[in-house]
A and B are shown apart, each in its own frame.
Chain A
């Protein structure tokens, strides 16, 4: 209670609520709702009023006694989004009020739509009722409407075991020693890194691997804002790094530098994990860090 003696709280309330008779038409509608069916009533002109009224609002004539099952799905004609629901609203999270023309109805029903966000709704959106668990014959037996199912989530998961053999094994054994191994094509002279057994351009076998320095130049890069388990933080930078003497860049993380300072032509060097922790894995290279040398003009 307020502490100001001149200020009083006053509550107007009817404990237990008013008892209201429904009459036959509203009563039929609510009884059908209790059975999880939505009905309208046909007017003399043939229009189906949903929810049913005792009199046709257009003519004042009593409606017929023909009840027509409609919906349960319908089409949103107009909606208004509620960002902050009130205590008395049908949903306690943001939702939309909507006019819903149920299939087979000649008028629109006012109800709430749980759509997640306003962009999920438009005039024409198809919606279906979500029923309350224990219908009692009340308009809130329809808890709310939800948009029609238009997509599902399909989970995919398969496990594999990969064995590094051949050229990859040679390369990774080099990485274990702290060396990047590449290969020079005997025909076109291009140097590929990681080491590979044949030239993809000429098709010729590449004989023995050659050692390449662990310094290079960033040719292009991307700033990534989604977390990745291999990256130290978000945002992180992944870059194409052209190792010195190589003709093909390899992709790696760039670290020890703010993302916005990374640029094309920047000179970088691999940051290796300490010798005792090294394995035959690219995890040996934490990332590439700037060397501080002047930038290189990229051709």
Chain B
């Protein structure tokens, strides 16, 4: 395996509403920011993650290339997934050994439509989508399967929003109202983007004084159909964590792609994170959830602790599909 490190991370100041910026306009500043930080104008490989259903336009990711300076032609790829999986593809690409740098970005404007029902479109078209099962509904089923204490869930929301308020990139959300009825707290509608630069071999040390080395990265998936799984657990997150080697050392910070409080409980258990590990100091998805960038931001936030010299070993996690169907775990070390 080649050593591959995250050498730069940038994200937008996420918006809780549609500011009217086009996707390339939203992406360009973060691309410019990581180019400036690394001094690189072109990359050996470029990969992005986004979802056409957010904008309701086919191949909307193609227009996003306008933000990159893609001429003369660049070596480019795209995943119809969170940008975290674009990072995985870029990491694999760098393992080939013929290129040393990669640009990864993820972006999404979930303000344009009704995310709750747009998420129905990702479900299997025979058994689930025709029922109109929506994002909150399947999340509520999983919350019921977990059966966590209301107070524990409320505290996760409160802590996430408080951390988000001190994160200049996250949204400014109030403490949850304890008088609110016993309902699921949804992540905020968010528009935003993020970019990461990966560098392999000697280049990492040349571009950055504290590269965040990817010491483990793995993703696992489990059956799509909710009735074929134990929703109280995440077998795929546990498998990915083992494969990435989360437990081989102490984890100072873990950034988890938990869009609902009960998902954090599931993921903590699956990754076997001890009480000392600080979870989502950025506020996590409950403080800013730019869909298709949220997972990549988790990896970026975990890397930032190392880039800034604040931590030596962190974990970034990303999830996709209904009820944490697919999970990606990255172990980063100084």
Please report A residues at the B interface, Cβ cutoff 8 Å.
6, 10-12, 18, 20, 22, 26, 30, 49-51, 53, 57, 78-83, 86-90, 97-101, 107-112, 138-140
Whole-angstrom distance between the Cβ of B138 and the nearest chain A Cβ = 7
| Segment among B71-79, B140-148, B301-309 that sits at the interface with chain A | B140-148
A79→B134 contact, CB < 8 A: no
Query: How many inter-chain contacts with C-beta < 8 Å in the A-B complex?
Result: 93
Partner of A140, one of B116, B130, B144, B225: B130
Chain B residues near A26: list those with CB within 8 A.
126-127
Known: A78-B231, A90-B132. A97 touches B140 (CB 8 A): yes
4 cross-chain pairs, A with B, having the tightest CB-CB distances, nearest first? A88-B132, A80-B140, A108-B227, A57-B223
A139→B127 contact, CB < 8 A: yes
Total interface residues on B, using CB and 8 Å?
Answer: 32
Q: List 15 A-B contacts (CB under 8 A).
A: A12-B57, A18-B125, A49-B228, A50-B227, A53-B223, A87-B132, A88-B132, A89-B131, A90-B132, A97-B133, A97-B140, A97-B141, A108-B228, A110-B131, A110-B227
Whole-angstrom distance between the Cβ of B226 and the nearest chain A Cβ = 5
A88→B137 contact, CB < 8 A: no
Known: A30-B126, A89-B132. A110 touches B56 (CB 8 A): no
Q: CB-CB contacts of B185-222 with A at 8 A, as 1s and 0s?
A: 00000000000000000000000000000000000001
Whole-angstrom distance between the Cβ of A196 and the nearest chain B Cβ = 57
Whole-angstrom distance between the Cβ of B153 and the nearest chain A Cβ = 14
Partner of B131, one of A10, A18, A30, A140: A140
Could you tell me which residues of chain B, from 120 to 179, have a CB within 8 Å of some CB in chain A? 120, 125-128, 130-134, 137-138, 140-141, 143-145
Known: A26-B126, A88-B132, A110-B127. A79 touches B141 (CB 8 A): yes
Partner of A138, one of B130, B132, B145: B130
Partner of B225, one of A80, A110, A138: A110
Chain B residues near A108: list those with CB within 8 A.
226-228
